[in-house]
Amino acid sequence: MKLHPLHSNVVVKPLEADETTPSGIVLPETVDKDKPEQGEVIAIGPGKILENGEKATMSVKVGDKVVFKKYSPDEIKVDQEKYLIISDSDILAIIE
C-alpha cells in the first residue's frame, strides 16, 4: 500500500461485519449496514508536533485492532480496497 498518513492520522482497514444475525438470518448484500466501528491499523502518521517542538507519540501501532467513533473516519479507495483515515484522537480503544 502506498498510503503514508500525515501528522496524527491513522489508516485503518475496516473489519467485515458478520453476514448473519445471531438468530441465523443471512443478510443480503443490499441491506444498508452501519459504518464499521472496528478495524485493523494499516499505517500510522509520525505524530503531531507539540508546542515545544517535539512529536507526540501515537497511541496505536500497525496491526492493532481498534474501535473508533462511528462517524469520524474519512473513507477512501486505493486499488479497489476500502480504507478509513482516522485521527488518532478519534480511536477509542484497542481490541486485545
CATH number 2.30.33.40 given to 9-15+29-95: yes
pTM: 0.78
The whole-number average pLDDT for the span 80-92 is: 93
pLDDT attached to residue 31: 53
pLDDT attached to residue 60: 96
| Residue 33: burial class (beta carbons within 10 Å; 0-12, 13-18, 19+) | exposed
Each residue's pLDDT tens digit, 37-72: 899 999 999 999 999 999 999 999 999 999 998 888
The whole-number average pLDDT for the span 4-22 is: 83
pLDDT of 30 > 60? The answer is: no
pLDDT of 2 > 90? The answer is: no
pLDDT of 82 > 80? The answer is: yes
Count of Cβ atoms closer than 10 Å to residue 8 Cβ: 21
Q: Is 30 left (phi over 0), alpha (psi -120 to 50) or beta?
A: alpha
